[in-house]
Amino acid sequence: MDSRAANKSAGAGPGRPSREVVYERLYVQTAELRTRLGGLPSPIEARDIWRGIWLAEAHHSTAIEGNTLVMQQVQQLLDQGRAVGNKELREYMEVRGYANAADWVYGHGIEPGDWQTDEPITLTDLRHIHKLALDLVWDVDPHPSATPREVPGSFREHDIEPFPGGMRPPAFTDVPSQMEVWVRETALLREADAATFPEAMARSHARFEQIHPFLDGNGRTGRLVLNLLLVRLGYPPAIIYKRERAQYLRALQRADQGDFGTLGELLARAVLDNLYKFIVPAVAGPARLVPLPALASERISADALRVAAARGRLEASKGEDGMWRSSRQWVEHYLYDRQARRPTT
């Protein structure tokens, strides 16, 4: 199943930073990740970081396509190999296959080994990701219209009906040549600056989905490919959460019409969310200055930290990008002092 059937608008809500501010923060804070924190950690060095991203992505990306496993079932399936519940076998295989592909993406995105290339992605990478993501589910529930040559990892030999917004994927005979052009264009992502990178990435992701190179699994494969590109370019991966499905599909539809801003903003926010939630808290030492969202926890929210910083109660520094930064040590001192000031009963 491919996720191009519903839509609602995406965008900044009340009190959220503007698109331009989000783009600037993405640029500044990923630059800090590379220069001050040593860049993305390897999967071996920080297994727990990547495990959290891996679980979340396997659940939410398959849920966008209609998979009904809940997070607890996904975790038991991937951690223990247990198919808990009474779901159809194809649903378990969708998640397991996606997780296999995501594991390859993160491992080879950072440490490519024999897959080393001068380009951000190759057609071989692309086909391998699709094969990993679809192999298991194809074994139990292959596409009913597939020819013997349309197995996972092979381009489609069928034409695709127009999307709800009217965009028509190219004829299957044009897919190989259009994918070669798409691969060459991904090299231009390395030249994008702070203001243009998010929408350049959005354009690349949207174009992949417009070509729809495979008979099935284009949505899942497109998001895996997006994350391979991000990781190879030094950015954290993006997770589109299932609650954002309508926004995501609407953003793709707007991209079909040549407007990449909504999708670019959604992707930029998703990358920053992973940066704050998974990457920075794990790689920054206790004395490192990092953005406040990376210091939020069950004990105190990012908004509460921001208020404390603005009032001078939390030692922090406000950068030119408008983001407050503090350290884990300073937050611990603030929480200790706050608790000490509370009256005892």
pLDDT of residue 37: 85
Q: Final residue of a domain: which of 262, 283, 304? A: 283
Task: Give the confidence band of 175 by pLDDT, cuts at 50, 70, 90.
Answer: very high
Q: Final residue of a domain: which of 283, 298, 331? A: 283
Q: 40 and 161: one domain?
A: yes
pLDDT of residue 3: 47
Task: Give the confidence band of 96 by pLDDT, cuts at 50, 70, 90.
Answer: very high
| Six-digit token string for 137 | 């589910």
- Residue 4 inside a domain? The answer is no
Mean pLDDT of 143-170: 93
pLDDT of residue 319: 85
- Residue 9 inside a domain? The answer is no
Q: Give percent of the chain above pLDDT 70.
A: 94
- Residue 181 inside a domain? The answer is yes
**Max Cα distance, the chain (Å):** 77
Q: 236 and 316: one domain?
A: no
Q: CATH no. for residue 163?
A: 1.10.3290.10
Task: Give the confidence band of 43 by pLDDT, cuts at 50, 70, 90.
Answer: confident
Mean pLDDT of 83-112: 92
Residue labelled with tokens 């929408």: 199
Cβ(237)–Cβ(53) below 8 Å = yes
- Picking from 38-52, 126-140, 154-168, 249-263, which range would have the lowest pLDDT averaged per residue? 38-52
Number of domains comprising the chain: 2
Q: 131 and 225: one domain?
A: yes
Residue bearing the bigger pLDDT, 148 or 322: 148
Q: Final residue of a domain: which of 283, 302, 325? A: 283
Q: 265 and 319: one domain?
A: no
Tell me which residue of 101, 25, 105 sits closest to 270, measured CA to CA.
25
141: amino acid identity, one letter = D
- Residue 100 inside a domain? The answer is yes
Cβ(204)–Cβ(189) below 8 Å = yes
The mean predicted confidence, pLDDT, of the chain is 90
Tell me which residue of 218, 315, 236, 327 sits closest to 274, measured CA to CA.
236
Identify the DSSP state of 132: H
Sign of CA dihedral 204, 151, 242, 44: negative
pLDDT of residue 10: 37
Mean pLDDT of 152-174: 93
Alpha-carbon span 333 to 343, nearest angstrom? 18
Q: Give percent of the chain above pLDDT 90.
A: 69
- Residue 24 inside a domain? The answer is yes
Q: 305 and 232: one domain?
A: no
Q: 336 and 232: one domain?
A: no
> 197-211 and 261-274 helices cross at what angle (nearest 10)?
110
Task: Give the confidence band of 285 by pLDDT, cuts at 50, 70, 90.
Answer: confident
Q: 29 and 139: one domain?
A: yes
Alpha-carbon span 221 to 105, nearest angstrom? 11
Alpha-carbon span 74 to 84, nearest angstrom? 9
- Residue 209 inside a domain? The answer is yes
By residue range, what is the domain housing residue 319? 290-341
341 φ, ψ (degrees, to nearest 5) = -80, -15
Q: 164 and 226: one domain?
A: yes
Q: Indicate if the pLDDT at residue 320 is higher than 90.
A: no
| Six-digit token string for 90 | 């194809």
pLDDT per residue as tens digits for the range 1-20: 454 433 333 344 446 889 99
273: amino acid identity, one letter = D
| Six-digit token string for 258 | 């040549």
Q: 257 and 326: one domain?
A: no
Q: 127 and 186: one domain?
A: yes
pLDDT of residue 344: 64
Mean pLDDT of 75-89: 91
Q: 305 and 274: one domain?
A: no
Q: 209 and 334: one domain?
A: no
Alpha-carbon span 232 to 57, nearest angstrom? 17
Would you tell me how many other CB atoms lie within 10 Å of the CB of residue 199?
23
pLDDT per residue as tens digits for the range 177-217: 999 999 999 999 999 988 899 999 999 999 999 999 999 99
